[in-house]
Structure 1
Amino acid sequence: MLLTVSQAAKLLHVPERTVLRWIKKDQISACKVNEEYRLNRVDLLEWATAQRLSLSPEIFTEPEEPDINMPSLSQVLKAGGTHQDIAGKTKDEVLKNIISLLKLPPQVDKDYILQVLMAREALGTTAIGDGIAIPHVRNPILLHVDTAMITLCFLANPIDFKAIDNKPVDTIFLLISPTVKVHLHLLSKLAYALRDPRFKSVLQRQGPQSEIFATVKLIEGELAVGTAR
């Protein structure tokens, strides 16, 4: 899961010295392993998305572990569903109301999910700008769920998520995943889709569920062709 500076630079399309400068200025988190910097893939993806930086499609491919059985973004969006006019005046109120809509096994504690989501928010906002946030937990296996889902919710009233562009959030993708690998896979796919103007357009219009799913499927198809070349 950890990347070298060289690997991170390749994914971000920047020189290694640029990545090192970001690390030394504490703009991007990294740890030292044998006196060399290492970066977490999920942290890198979240940071790059918030900074609106382009990421190489190579982040989706792991040759040693092919994503043969990985769920598609369109599949998990259908599993989570879309919802309109979610009420709430604060971040925790909104997340609590969204969690109440999740189709989870009865043994899953929804109050606990809220706690771990809020703990993640305390570490740094999951808002990525343009009124969009992707709440998720840093350690997916804590949730004890068997399948992944992304629930898309449009809020009745935009709320402050401490976004990097200072815009209030009105669109939330709540990500629930069973493993770290699935978590990274879906977060990567969603971040990629959110850079596509077609997807951004349908979200801004709060388009119908059928159009949202169709747009995601189209983008996924194009990405599959691009990474196969």
Structure 2
Amino acid sequence: MQLSVRDAANILKVPTKDIYDWIKQEAIPFYKINEEYRFNRVELLEWASSRRILASPEVFLEAETEDERLPSLLESLKAGGIFYHVGGNDKASVLRAVIDTLSFPEEEEVDKDFLYQVLLAREALGSTCVGDGVAIPHVRNPVVLHVTNPSIWLCFLDHPIDFGAPDGLPVNILFTLISPTVRDHLHLLSRLSFALLDKTFKAALKRQASQEELMETVSSIEMAQTALASGSAVPIR
């Protein structure tokens, strides 16, 4: 879907003037079609995630109206898993080490070498870092992998590395996101971006808390996010 300036402003919860300012600065991904500015929803939410800009809850509600149930962040993290002491000394070797930890159901014949090249290609377009030592490597076009279930793998690195982060900080926490559809991808990216604003979750990530504690924290965050999307006032902790 090609979004208008007003659509982009509504999703990012900012005045349209901010959108035009970002366009002038070429700080936001946009297209000019028939003398009008347009935005791609995937690119916009990826950009918002990297800037720690929380998208409007309407993004989630729009998807929830579909017949197919959307995956939760907790379910996807359980499907992938949490891993500690992942090796690597640079971006390429870390991504290789991360991919080596990934496991898929037998019916999903994912070519890990192909996945590695796709993730490297995505990083070449722009770093997937979102700041504070966190990156979210993912496939730009989810359908190329032919997976049937969305998964998120949380990997803690042995050594912080330069990942081209906007804040200049080295990265030691990776959330690798793989989903079967663009819709699932956008939904999980938004959910994860929301979770990374939570102070309790960020603190747990920094001290590399246990799997049980991390899962419990994510569960609490999703309850808060559901309340926010439904209009209830639940503050970020």
Q: Classify the TM-score, shorter chain.
A: over 0.9
Question: Cα–Cα, structure 1 residues 67 and 83, in superposed 2: closer, same or farther, change >3 Å?
Answer: farther
Q: Within the alignment, does 1:129 sit opposite 2:131 as a pair?
A: yes
SS, match of residue 221 in structure 2: helix
Structure 1 residues 145-166: Cα deviation after superposition (integer angstroms, max 9, x where no partner): 1111000000000011000000
Q: 2: CA distance between counterparts of 1:36 and 1:50? A: 25
Q: What pairs up with 1:44-63 in 2 under 5 angstroms?
A: 44-62=44-62
Moved more, 201-210 or 62-71: 62-71
Q: 1: CA distance between counterparts of 2:66 and 2:185? A: 15
Partner residue in 2 for 1:204: 206
Q: 1: CA distance between counterparts of 2:64 and 2:77? A: 27
SS, match of residue 62 in structure 1: helix
Deviation (angstroms), 1:101: 1.4
TM-score for both structures, normalised by structure 1: 0.95
Q: 2: CA distance between counterparts of 1:51 and 1:102? A: 27
Structure 1 residues 120-147: Cα deviation after superposition (integer angstroms, max 9, x where no partner): 0000000111000000011000111111
Do the aligned partners of 1:61 and 1:67 also contact (CA within 8 Å) in 2? no
Do the aligned partners of 1:120 and 1:136 also contact (CA within 8 Å) in 2? yes
Question: Cα–Cα, structure 1 residues 151 and 124, in superposed 2: closer, same or farther, change >3 Å?
Answer: same
Q: 1: CA distance between counterparts of 2:111 and 2:130? A: 27
Partner residue in 1 for 2:151: 149
TM-score for both structures, normalised by structure 2: 0.92
Partner residue in 2 for 1:216: 218
Aligned sequence identity (%): 52
Deviation (angstroms), 1:61: 2.1
Partner residue in 2 for 1:87: 87
Q: 1: CA distance between counterparts of 2:64 and 2:155? A: 35
Q: Within the alignment, does 1:175 sit opposite 2:171 as a pair?
A: no
Q: 2: CA distance between counterparts of 1:216 and 1:204? A: 15
Do the aligned partners of 2:87 and 2:159 also contact (CA within 8 Å) in 1? yes
What amino acid is the match of 1:184?
L
CA RMSD of aligned residues (A): 1.6
Deviation (angstroms), 1:35: 2.8
Deviation (angstroms), 1:24: 2.3
Q: What pairs up with 1:55-134 in 2 under 5 angstroms?
A: 55-62=55-62, 65-66=65-66, 68-105=68-105, 107-134=109-136
